[in-house]
Amino acid sequence: MTLRGRLTVAFLVVVLGPVLLGAVFVGTTLSAVDRGRATERLGLAAAGVRTSVDALCQQLRAAADAVALVGDPAARSRAADQVVGRGLAAAVVIADPSGRTSYATAGGPAGPWQDCAGAPAGPVGALAVQVRLRDPAGADLGAVAAAQPVDPAFVARLAAVTGVGITLLDDPGRITHTTEDQGVRAAVLAAARRVAGDRVAGTGDGRYVRRVGPSPGQPLPLVLSVPGQRPPGLYGALVAAVVLAALLAVLAAWRLARVTTRPLVELAGAVDRVAHGDLTARVPVRSRDEIGRLAGAFNRMTRETGSYVAALTSSRDQLRNHLVVLGDTLASTHDLQRILRVILDSAIAGTGARAGAVLLLDGHGVLVGQCVEGLTGRWPTEDPTDPATLRVPVGAGVVGAVAATGEPLRGRWTPPKARTGEPTCETYVAVPFAAPDPRGPERPGHPPADGDPAAPPSAALGVLALYDRLGGDEFDDDDLVMLRTFAGHAAVAVENVRVHEEAQRLSLTDPLTGLWNYRYLRESIRREVERANRFGRMLSVLALDLDRFKHVNDTWGHAAGDAVLVEFARRVRGVIREVDLAFRHGGEEFVVLLPETDARGAAIVAERIGAVVRDQPVPVDGHGDEPLRVPVTVSIGIAVYPDHAGGGQQVLDAADDALYAAKAAGRDGYRLAPAGDPVPTQEIPVVAATVTPPDGLPRAGAADPAGAGPGGASSGPHPPRQSRGR
């Protein structure tokens, strides 16, 4: 072979070598990237499935605990119906110690029921959690089981949360429920049988499959699948490119064969270094002919490839760091603002957005900004320093439509005809926070207000909105999938915060009356005494005790006694102000704290409480069609800080002593604690002109010289009202 032939061959090798390597590199890289993305998506989906199933099991456990905590069997069945009615469980079953069902709510899911903590033994009809019933002595009274059906709708919800296809298997490996199309079910099932643990397998049609469960806390055998994103005809295009490059090289080889071999050697050396992973390799461009252009093209290829790999590495590390911060925050804090800030920062970093906001629903159907970033110059109001100025009604604009429909939106911004309160932008993406019930619990110690606006019909807790991606491009479907994952984390985190706050509230309230309990009384009396001492104000304490309450229980039963306590608490709440605090001290004993109220104002409140209890007997369920009307009176002791005591416990003791004095004086009245030993008990002089203020709220020392006292009180000392016929 001549030198020209050898040079031609060498030229072809040198030219086609990088082309082939590049084709192989591109093909393998795209395949690896495709598989890596699918593995990452399946990993996130698996975590979302475990989180969703765990959240459902925790919800069922909370529902079963709520029923189990009810001591009365009849009330327990009503509690079970309420749990089902509120959507906390689809069915509740109460069994006696022998295992026989003593009560079951209607419309329960079909069996078998799978315990959240157990291993599956066949087809699963529902997920269930069982809680043992025990009396105060610890004896076994049976069990309470709460269940939620595992049906196609449940599987579809999991698929919507995770963004992947989900298939539920039974124990032999057959499909029970699936969201996959009919054409891919067989391929998905065959691939699922080949994998175990956390491995990912591919199917013949370009999909990737991973199995999840059964495992502790996730007893459902599930198969997750996502379609691959590899471009169709990739290998054919690479082969065509290689063939075309070979043809061009043959034509150019004969003309360039006489060129010295030095550029070829340099090019071959650079190719070898690239093949070994050194993307910093460059070829000197010694001429402007084809070899020079080839060297320049090679340099550009390696430069762009190095930039692409560096960008991928940086993006991977950044996403990994954000996920670590996100996971740590969600697992270690109940600070809602911190959680929302981490979610927003992670979403902005993951999508390259210029600005973003997290909006949550309030109780009036309005989305209120809780956390914002980069909205300077985009605000619809004149106060950009306060995120709460971002207010969008549900159903209005983009974020309002997302909250109303529960469906994510993305695209280019079109200015609306009417003002919606949204920030201005060029492109946007908005996803909802899914939640079971956007309405919060009632405030403890206060009845629900009449006409309170209902929450919007959507199941959205709020909206995560991002604006104007860096580089000017629109947000794509990958951004939408990632943001839905972030929104799912946010919804779980916010619900966890609400559950934590609800648990704190329940630990401080009386379950029967809804008033604050003794534990919160000790904290509140200390706080109110400190506040009164700091600002030089007075604090009045009322100790209340229902007269002859044991007679009510003995005559009409404990159910009637409970009804009397509940109604008494309701009437007390209707008399006191918004700033006053009512507590159940224990049994039929209650305490009311009246901040910034002196003895005269406390006497007015005591008169009102006595009148509202005395004048209207309490209706309770009887054995006939007409309810029984139980007459009730109350005795009240009054003490004032700092007139009667120098500390919180001392003023409570003084009010309790005054209560015993009111009992000894004949009940159905009130007594004021003595100013100090040996000073005798002083009566409260009530001015004849004292009247109820126009707003109906008591005032410390309020008096109107033109009116009559409450309940027709006359001037001079006001003796306690004596018991009427009891």
195: its two tokens: 């994998």
Contacts of 325 (CB under 8 A, 6+ apart): 342, 346
Does position 144 have pLDDT exceeding 80, yes or no? yes
For position 459, what pLDDT does the model report?
58
The token pair at 135 is 């009396």
Give the least confident one: 8-12, 28-32, 206-210, 390-394.
Answer: 8-12
pLDDT of residue 582: 92
Question: How far does Cα 528 stand from its chain's mean position?
Answer: 33
**Consecutive H or E run containing 262:** helix 262-275
3-state DSSP assignment of residue 677: coil
Write out pLDDT tens, residues 229-286.
Answer: 777 666 677 788 778 877 777 777 666 665 556 677 778 888 888 888 787 888 888 7
Domains annotated for the chain, with CATH where assigned, are: 333-497 (3.30.450.40), 518-712 (3.30.70.270)
- CA–CA distance, 303 with 323 (Å, rounded to integer): 30
Q: For 487-508, how does the pLDDT look when each residue is reduced to its tens digit (9 = 90+)?
A: 777 777 777 777 776 676 777 7
Least confident stretch, 17-26, 62-71, 97-106: 17-26
Percentage of the chain beyond pLDDT 70 is 78
Number of helices (H), then strands (E), belonging to the chain: the values are: 15, 23
Q: What is the pLDDT of residue 670?
A: 92
Q: Which of 136-145, 148-157, 487-496 has the lowest mean pLDDT?
A: 487-496
CB 579 within 8 A of CB 700: no
Residue 684 is predicted with a pLDDT of 39
Q: What is the pLDDT of residues 525-538, one digit of tens each?
A: 899 999 998 888 99
More confident residue, 59 or 312: 59
Res 477: pLDDT: 79
Return mean pLDDT, the chain. 76
**pLDDT higher than threshold 50 for residue 718:** no
From residue 267, how far is each of 255, 592, 622 by CA, in Å? 18, 91, 101
> Tens of pLDDT along 83-125?
888 888 888 888 888 888 888 888 878 778 878 877 766 678 7
Edge-to-edge strands, sheet with 126-134: 101-104, 91-95, 140-149, 126-134, 113-115
Residue 297 CA to residue 671 CA, distance in Å, equals 100
pLDDT at 88: 85
| Burial of residue 184, with CB atoms counted within 10 A of its CB: 0-12 exposed, 13-18 middle, 19 or more buried | buried
Average pLDDT of 295-314? 82
Tokens of 513: 């009356």
Read off φ and ψ for residue 334, nearest 5 degrees.
-115, 20
- Given pLDDT bands bounded at 50, 70 and 90, which one contains residue 324? low
Q: Which pLDDT does position 5 carry in this prediction?
A: 64
pLDDT bucket at 722, cuts 50 / 70 / 90? very low
Q: What is the pLDDT of residue 638?
A: 94
Can you give the pLDDT at residue 671? Answer: 92
Decide: 216 and 118 in contact? Cβ < 8 Å: no
Residue 48 class from Cβ within 10 Å (0-12 exposed, 13-18 middle, 19+ buried)? buried
Three-class HEC string of 80-142: HHHHHHCCCCCEEEEECCCCCEEEECCCCCCCCEEECCCCCCCCCCEEEEEEEEECCCCCEEE
Lowest mean pLDDT among 50-64, 548-562, 621-635, 691-705: 691-705
Please compute, for residue 697, the number of CA atoms within 13 A of its CA located in the half-sphere on the CB side: 11
Q: Strand 113-115 and strand 126-134: pairing? A: parallel
Residue 316: which pLDDT band, with cuts at 50, 70 and 90?
A: low
For residue 595, pLDDT over 90 is answered with: yes
* Predicted model pTM: 0.36
Could you read off the pLDDT of 631-675 as tens digits, one per residue?
999 999 999 998 888 888 899 999 999 999 999 988 889 999 887
Beta-bridge partners for 637:
543, 671
Is the pLDDT assigned to residue 208 strictly greater than 70?
A: yes
Residues 6+ apart with CB under 8 A from 217: 50, 53, 54, 57, 116, 117
Q: What's the mean pLDDT in 190-197?
A: 76
Strand partners, 469: 353
**Of 212, 205, 246, nearest in space to 227 by CA:** 205
